[in-house]
Amino acid sequence: MKLSSAEKIMESALLLFSEQGYNETSINEIAKNAKVSEATLFRLFNSKHELYITTLETYSTKAFFSKNDTLVKLSFSDFIEDLNIIILDCYAFFFENIHLWRIYISNAIQFKEISYLNNHIASQAYELIKMYLTEMQARNKNQVSSIETITNLVYAHIFYSVTQITILRKITDLDNSLKAELRENSSTFLSTIKKLFPYD
C-alpha cells in the first residue's frame, strides 16, 4: 500500500526522533528522509513539536499487545517455563514498538505530553504478568502475598534488559543472536525467582 505524504513524514520522524533525539533532529532531515519538501511537511504539520506529538499519538494507538496469544501458550503448571514464555513475548512486544519506547525513555522528562506511551507499551506487559500470576493464585499455585512482588520483579527485569539494549547499546533488531542472549538472561533471572518464590 502506498503511503501518503503525512504517513511518510511520520514514519521518518519516528525513526529519526528515536535514533537522534528530539533536539538533534531537524525538520530538514525529516523531510529529506521522507522524500518530501519542507513546504509539504509544514503544510501538514504546523511545527516540529506538533509533528512529534502527532507521530507518537499515531503510532502509540497501534501498539497493542495481544495477551491472549501469549496466554494460550502457557501450561499454568510449570511456573518458571510459563514466566519464560511471558518474558520472551514481552521482549518481542517491546522490540515491535522499539522506536516509541526509546523516545519515551529518552524524552519523558522533557515532554510530559508523552507520558501515555508508558501506558500503551509498558503497562500492557505489566498487566500480562499480573494476569498470569492472578490466574495461578486462583488455581492455588502461588503464595497470595507474592503476586505484586513477582509482577514488579519480572517487569523490572524486562524493563532493564530492553532499556539497556535499546538505549545504551542502540540495538533495534531482535535477531537470533540477541534472542539467545535474552533467553540466557531470562533463564538466569528465573533461577533466582524460583529460589525466592517456590511454586507447587
Extents of the domains making up the chain? 5-60, 67-196
pLDDT in tens, 160-176: 888 888 877 777 788 88
Mean pLDDT of the chain, nearest integer: 87
Q: Which CATH architecture has domain 5-60?
A: Orthogonal Bundle (1.10)
pLDDT in tens, 69-97: 999 999 998 888 999 999 999 999 988 88
Q: What pLDDT score does 145 carry? A: 61
Phi and psi, residue 112, nearest 5°: -65, -25
Between 11 and 119, residue with greater pLDDT: 11
Q: What pLDDT score does 138 carry? A: 84
Q: Please give the grid coordinates belonging to residue 199.
A: 511454586
What percentage of the chain has pLDDT greater than the value 70? 96
d(CA 6, CA 18): 18
Asked whether the beta carbons of 100 and 63 are under 8 A apart, the reply is yes
Asked whether the beta carbons of 98 and 172 are under 8 A apart, the reply is yes
